[in-house]
Amino acid sequence: MSSNSRLSRAYKNAHRIAFDNGSKYILFSDCHRGDNSFSDEFANNRNIYYHALRHYYKEGFQYAELGDGDELWENMNFASLFEAHKNIYLLLQQFHKEGRLHLLWGNHDMVYKDPAYVEKHLSHYFDRIDSCEKELFVGIRYHEALVLQHQETGQELFLAHGHQADWWNYTFWRWGRFLVRVLWKPLQVWGIADPTSPARNFKELIKVERRLKRWILKNDLLFTIVGHTHRPRFPEPGDIPLFNDGSCVHPRSITGLEIENGAIALIKWQIATREDGTLQVVRVLLEGPQKLASYHLRRG
């Protein structure tokens, strides 16, 4: 199956959500939450991520995570990730309880495409203090893609991880997982990166983006938002509407996309130093906000 066919299938089977100009969404991807070991790239930014996520929770945003939220290539199971980042998962639980959590699976957490696996591993957790099982993400559903459709204009925003345009990481993800666990994870501790990852291989990154753009052109300039490559993208109106929210494993910062008041913006959260030498987590506007309606409208 070609990348064009995989993307078209994901769009056809996407979970659809209606939204309007009063809706507020924050889009993150590629958190790669690990076990807090030396190979856990997320650990460096977990305090930034937690602060940002708590901000969006308090402000009434819906949270859409576009795949690779959990690092299940390097790690064998979810339990070790939960123990390492329990406060984050309990905050995500609050989003879920209020119907504000939307999760997609990517190549590094592709096991979540199996509802039985999700129910077994994510619905409950063992509380070591109380020595009993407690609810976590009861009834949670992972999707391959989302389509946000504007109730007034009919404009569709297609959200996917983006590995559908990466034949190796979509079709042979089990082989990729095997190689990461036995080879690249030990080498990563010594600073040697996995060359098969598009986030670390510029040539592969360009190929993935080129395939995505070709698919968008074939589909009436469908407004598309992905992750996977870890490279933020924010096109101008009139350009091919391929957006990328970046990742949460940039050195010392995380990036994402905000949708609010009918507009989209690329933002970064990072640690900054005050004049008195104390540190604070701050939000930085990188691009936008740009009205969604300024991009080509695709009606359902």
Query: From first to last of its 300 residues, what are the pLDDT tens digits of the chain?
Result: 688 899 999 999 999 999 999 999 999 999 999 999 877 889 999 999 999 999 999 999 999 999 999 999 888 899 999 999 999 999 999 999 999 999 999 999 999 999 999 999 999 998 888 788 899 999 999 999 999 999 999 999 999 999 999 867 677 556 677 677 666 656 555 555 555 455 556 778 889 999 999 999 999 889 999 999 999 999 999 999 999 999 999 999 999 999 999 999 999 999 999 989 899 999 999 999 999 999 976 644
pLDDT attached to residue 157: 97
The answer to whether the CB of 102 falls within 8 A of the CB of 146 is: yes
Query: Which pLDDT score is estimated for 188?
Result: 58
pLDDT of residue 296: 75
pLDDT at 267: 98
Residue carrying structure tokens 């994870």: 185
Q: What is the pLDDT of residue 61?
A: 98
Can you give the pLDDT at residue 239?
95
Q: Strand pairing partners for 146?
A: 15, 159
* Whether the predicted model's global pTM rises above the 0.85 cut: yes
- The pLDDT, as a whole number, for residue 43 is 95
- Residue 28 CA to residue 185 CA, distance in Å, equals 24
Domains of the chain: 3-294 (3.60.21.10)
Work out the angle between the directed axes of helices 3-12 and 202-218 (0-180°, nearest 10): 60
pLDDT of residue 37: 87
